[in-house]
Amino acid sequence: MYGIIVMIVYAVLMIGVTIMFSHKSRNANDFHVADRNLGTWQSAMSIAATWIWAPALFTSAEKAYSSGIPGLFWFLVPNVLCLIFFIPFAKRIRQRMPEGITLSDFMATTYKSEKVRKVYLGQLSLLSILSTGVQLLAGGKILSVITGIPLFPLTIILAVIAFSYSQFSGIKASVLTDAMQMILMLAACAVFVPWALSMDNGVTNLINGLSGESGKFGSLFDSNGVSVMISFGIPTAIGLIAGPFGDQCFWQRAFTIRKGKIGKSFLLGALLFAIVPLSMGILGYIAAGSGYKATDTGLVNFELIGHLFPKWVMLPFLFMVVSGLLSTIDSNLCAVASLTSDYKCGVKGAKISMLVLLVLGIAVANIPGMTVTTLFLFYCTLRASTLLPTALTLMNKKLSANGVFFGIIAALLIGMPIFAYGNINGIAVYKTVGSLVTVLTSGLVALLYPKKGAEA
């Protein structure tokens, strides 16, 4: 019953906010970049909410619970730093292409190459599909446990809710609802963490839980801490630092925010974002320190809240979960829609691309045996493939079109299989090597490829 109530109230609230505070888009430019005039606070709230995806809500608690201090450290710190690291590049792309909409168009225009456009469109689109899939998977699993409804219809319901308001006014609807979603998430964190700490032995459980469920992970620098760094920390850090660079959601916001507010918006967004995974991590520590045995470690915060608090508390938690997941989905919808501007498809074409994304995301979410953490690590590595060519281009490094194109292709063909092998077989060194090879290969090929006659 709780899950059904949340979905109905949430849908009505978001559709109502969208209709009341935004107008239906007049044209494709309005749909994609909202007159390039977003202010600091609304942009920061949108950036933070967009970056609060399924792993921020669940992987943070899981890693705190199972891997103690190093587990949460290697998830939280790169997650925050990546948004700060992105700031100068967001400013540069806006300066160099003030009327731009997409990263793919910027790269294609810079290198006068349709091959470069297509490889970027492929990477950005595939990332959106996988990201949408993981949000639907996480939300569907939680709601399935609560409602008893199978995963497949729930993923469809969540997709329909996100589309219902996103298609109304594009990026404006996404930013407005992101702000509302962020308020709901911060309010929930302000309730759960102090309440859990105020209970008997709450603070003691937190302190005891800093070493994880097994008590072996109390340091970043001992052998156990180093093992977490190799198996999880390095691949995660690479994927997260690369995150905004390989995600059209954040380039779209760089083109949408008022020009003088870009830096402040991303910095404030990073700080607001940090509150949510840190709060979920604290719940993970409390679960570990109290001796709670999770049925599913990937949902340990959800289980702990049901264990510690009255049943009604599940309502605000579910609002937080749905807000976090759908804020990313609606941003993905707007990002994919904006990619259609590369071919001047108009608002109708943009909305069709949204529907295609949701169909593919639903398919990914319903792959048998798929997990949130597995999908998270895969698309972290996918994002890393375009990090160096994009950063080097924005730093005015002279590259060739073929170098950029073949660098990204080589990174995907060499690095991704290594990472996939390590991930499937649970071999830490292969996951780390695969991530490093992915990010370095694209940059090295782009730098070393002959410049002469390289335009395509």
**pLDDT tens-digit map of 330-369:** 999 999 999 999 998 888 999 999 999 999 999 999 988 8
Instruction: Answer yes or no: do 254 and 392 share one domain.
Output: no
Judge whether 378 lies within some domain.
no
- Position 455 scores a pLDDT of 46
Query: How many H helices and E strands in the chain?
Result: 22, 0
pLDDT higher than threshold 90 for residue 115: yes
Dist. CA 168–CA 166, nearest whole Å: 5
Q: pLDDT tens, 151-186? A: 999 999 999 999 988 888 788 888 888 888 899 899
Q: At what angle do helices 248-256 and 171-198 cross, to 10 degrees?
A: 110
- Position 148 scores a pLDDT of 85
Judge whether 174 lies within some domain.
yes
- What are 341-349's contacts with CB under 8 Å, separation 24+? 341/28, 341/32, 341/101, 341/102, 341/105, 342/102, 342/104, 342/105, 342/108, 342/117, 342/121, 344/28, 345/28, 346/28, 347/25, 347/27, 347/28, 347/31, 347/170
Dist. CA 103–CA 51, nearest whole Å: 18
For residue 257, list its beta bridge partners. 38
Taking the mean position of all CA atoms in its chain, how far away is CA 85?
Answer: 16
* Residue 34, phi-psi category: left (phi > 0), alpha (psi -120 to 50), beta (remainder): left
If one compares 93 and 323, the residue with the highest pLDDT of the two is 93
Instruction: Answer yes or no: do 146 and 250 share one domain.
Output: yes
Instruction: Answer yes or no: do 119 and 217 share one domain.
Output: yes
What is the rounded end-to-end Cα distance, in angstroms, of the chain?
A: 57
Instruction: Answer yes or no: do 230 and 304 share one domain.
Output: yes
Q: Provide Rg for the chain, Cα atoms.
A: 21
Judge whether 373 lies within some domain.
no
- Position 1 scores a pLDDT of 62
If one compares 9 and 216, the residue with the highest pLDDT of the two is 216
Instruction: Answer yes or no: do 320 and 395 share one domain.
Output: no
pLDDT higher than threshold 90 for residue 393: yes
Instruction: Answer yes or no: do 207 and 342 share one domain.
Output: yes
Q: Pull the structure tokens for residue 281.
A: 């991590």
Instruction: Answer yes or no: do 359 and 393 share one domain.
Output: no
For 434, the domain range is 385-456
Judge whether 188 lies within some domain.
yes
If one compares 404 and 1, the residue with the highest pLDDT of the two is 404
Judge whether 295 lies within some domain.
yes
Report the percentage of the chain scoring pLDDT > 90: 56
The CATH number of whichever domain residue 66 belongs to comes to 1.20.1730.10
- Position 425 scores a pLDDT of 78
Q: What's the 3-state SS for 355-411?
A: HHHHHHHHHHHCCCCCCHHHHHHHHHHHHHCCHHHHHHHHCCCCCCHHHHHHHHHHH
Instruction: Answer yes or no: do 352 and 414 share one domain.
Output: no
pLDDT higher than threshold 70 for residue 81: yes
Instruction: Answer yes or no: do 138 and 231 share one domain.
Output: yes
Judge whether 376 lies within some domain.
no
Out of 367, 397, 428, a domain closes at 367
If one compares 117 and 236, the residue with the highest pLDDT of the two is 117
Instruction: Answer yes or no: do 290 and 413 share one domain.
Output: no
Out of 367, 402, 426, a domain closes at 367
Judge whether 372 lies within some domain.
no
- Position 327 scores a pLDDT of 86
Dist. CA 201–CA 288, nearest whole Å: 13
Q: Which 8-state DSSP code applies to residue 342?
A: G
Low-confidence winner among 139-143, 283-287, 341-345, 385-389 (lowest mean pLDDT): 139-143
Out of 334, 367, 400, a domain closes at 367
Identify the CA nearest to 146 among candidates 2, 323, 307, 321.
Answer: 2
Dist. CA 104–CA 192, nearest whole Å: 41
- Position 383 scores a pLDDT of 83
Instruction: Answer yes or no: do 149 and 195 share one domain.
Output: yes
**Torsion, CA 204, CA 205, CA 206, CA 207, rounded to 10:** 50
Instruction: Answer yes or no: do 234 and 314 share one domain.
Output: yes
Judge whether 353 lies within some domain.
yes
Q: Which 8-state DSSP code applies to residue 220?
A: S
Burial 46-85 (b: 16+ CB within 10 A, else e): bbbbbbbbbbbbbbbbbbbbbbbbbbbbbbbebbbebbeb
Domain count, the chain: 2
Rounded to 5 degrees, what angle do the CA atoms 187, 192, 197 make?
135
Average pLDDT over residues 107-130: 95
Average pLDDT over residues 82-95: 96
Residues 79, 240: contact at Cβ < 8 Å?
A: yes
If one compares 1 and 200, the residue with the highest pLDDT of the two is 200
pLDDT mean across residues, the chain: 89
What's the pLDDT band for 314 if we cut at 50, 70, 90? confident
Average pLDDT over residues 73-101: 95
